[in-house]
Amino acid sequence: MRRDPELSAALHPLLAGRFSPSRFDPAGAVDDRALGLLLEAARWAPSAGNSQPWGFFTSRPGEPDHERVVRHLAPSSARWATDAGLLVVTLTRRFVEDTELLYSEFADYDLGQAVAHLTLQAEALGLASHQFRAFDLEGLTKELGPKPGWAIVSMIALGKAAEEPLATRQRRSVADLLSAPWAP
Ligand SMILES: Cc1cc2nc3c(=O)[nH]c(=O)nc-3n(C[C@H](O)[C@H](O)[C@H](O)COP(=O)(O)O)c2cc1C
């Protein structure tokens, strides 16, 4: 299937409008209601066996927990994530507490889907989001001390974008999505 400009144009605006800004407006606060809706969106994501293996740690500028997270950002993400109105640390429940038994084979998959729901709810609220891994995972894990079985996976910066999407953003073609996994 060739790239179809009509399909690209018909993509839902919440999907078409999403991008990961590298600048946030420091004046773009995320209020309690918006934060509640973001977590509500994650809560209603589907998951294997309804296992809901996700967890979050949220902090906003000015809150005591914000500094606990910010100090573990890598220089590359600190440049823009500190200006975001909200930082969300994402966690997945990989193991049953104090055992080596998998809690769910799909724990990371399901967390990703919950995050996708959260980021689209953010778009609906006029909030941009930028997911990232550029932080000190070991340091942040020691800082926050999740329960056994839980692991920090990523972070999300959310707030008011202070830039437009780059014109150079690229994606693999639909044809490649369908052909790449298979031998010719
Ligand atoms: C799991 C994950 C980890 C990411 N890590 C980083 C990161 O460490 N630094 C960064 O600038 N962007 C990071 N990103 C953002 C991606 O680079 C971005 O989503 C991708 O380039 C596509 O751009 P778009 O979101 O604007 O469409 C990450 C995204 C995901 C989903």
20 lines ligand 1 (CB under 6 A): yes
Mutate to test the pocket of ligand 1, among 19, 133, 156, 158 (most ligand atoms within 8 A of CB): 133
- In the chain, where are the structural domains located? 19-162
Mutate to test the pocket of ligand 1, among 15, 24, 131 (most ligand atoms within 8 A of CB): 131
Q: Name all contacts of 29-32 with Cβ < 8 Å and 24+ positions apart.
A: 29/60, 29/61, 29/85, 29/159, 30/60, 30/85, 30/86, 30/127, 30/158, 30/159
What's the confidence (pLDDT) of residue 1? 46
51 lines ligand 1 (CB under 6 A): no
| Secondary structure letter of residue 168 according to DSSP | T
CA neighbours closer than 13 Å in the CB half-sphere of residue 134: 14
56 lines ligand 1 (CB under 6 A): no
Determine the CATH number of domain 19-162.
3.40.109.10
Mean pLDDT by 10 residues, the chain (184 residues): 74 96 98 98 98 98 98 98 98 93 96 98 98 98 97 98 95 96 96
Write out pLDDT tens, residues 122-161. 999 999 999 999 999 999 999 999 999 999 999 999 999 9
Cα radius of gyration (the chain) = 18
